[in-house]
Amino acid sequence: MFVDLEKLKEIVREAGEIISQANLTPEQIRSKTSQKDLVTKYDVEVQDFLESRFQELWPDRHFMGEEQVEYRYEQRGFLVDPIDGTSNFIFGIPHFCISVAVLEQGEIVQGVVYNPVVDEMYWAEVGQGSYLNGDRLKNPDFALGEAVFGVGGSPYDPNSIEPTVRLIAKIMEEGDIRRLGSAALDLCYVASGRQGGYFEFAINPWDIAAGLLIAREAGVTVTTLDGEEPPLTRTTSILAAGPKMYAKIKNFIGF
């Protein structure tokens, strides 16, 4: 059984109000693993709100969120990033979102991604298509030179810097790139055609789970950067694009 998607969207929208009303101060920001890996009071507050509401309505489902001290993956439950794009949120860049994926038997079956700044809510249910504020999405299947390509910088993984720069250089021989700072929104933008594709060499499952389903339901091919299924239990790479652009990037990488 899936969860009530309309209720899920309503709760995520309520959580967005916490972010919209935030008054962030420096003492509400701290680093986690490094100065590039930041968390705020509001990341934790949003996560706690979502966990509380989900447990009220769906107590038999596990909750796994980015800001937990310990991670325990289960095949049935919620996979949550309370603010994807925390650095953007901290610096006042209006590009961040709440990302919630619903898992059944280890598969993503529902996803909601919400940017409260612009009131854009993306959602999908497996086999039912993906939507932005009620409008169905379909990736336009651009060629590489016809659209910008989204890039994730993998800032917490220094080993990813060189391969990221090499792939950017290849893409820029024919097209252009954008580094927007939210993996969940990058995937949604590929679904809608705002970006032709997106890649990142090291990304966590809570960043991509909901967006992965939204992108696939819009006709986007989504794999790791070696052509495999992205795992939901560990850090992974990701490549998402329409068929034409995916084939081009696959040729660049050589898998």
Could you tell me the pTM of the whole model? Answer: 0.96
pLDDT of residue 154: 81
pLDDT of residue 70: 82
Match 């070696």 to its residue by tokens.
226
**Per-residue b or e along 33-59, where b marks 16 or more CB atoms closer than 10 Å to that residue's CB:** eeeeebbbebbbbbbebbbebbeeebe
pLDDT tens by residue, 9-45: 999 999 999 999 998 888 898 887 666 668 899 999 9
pLDDT of residue 36: 63
CB of 38 closer than 8 Å to CB of 3: no
Those residues of the chain that have pLDDT short of 70 are 33-37
Amino acid present at 40: T
pLDDT tens by residue, 229-250: 999 999 999 999 999 999 999 9
**What are the structural domains, with CATH classification, of the chain?**
5-136 (3.30.540.10), 144-253 (3.40.190.80)
Angle (nearest 5°) at CA 199 between 193 and 203: 120
The count of C-alpha atoms lying within 13 angstroms of the C-alpha of 54, restricted to the half-sphere facing its C-beta, is: 26
Residue 3: alpha-carbon gap to chain centroid:
20
Among 215, 212, 208, CA closest to 234: 208
pLDDT of residue 34: 63
pLDDT of residue 38: 80
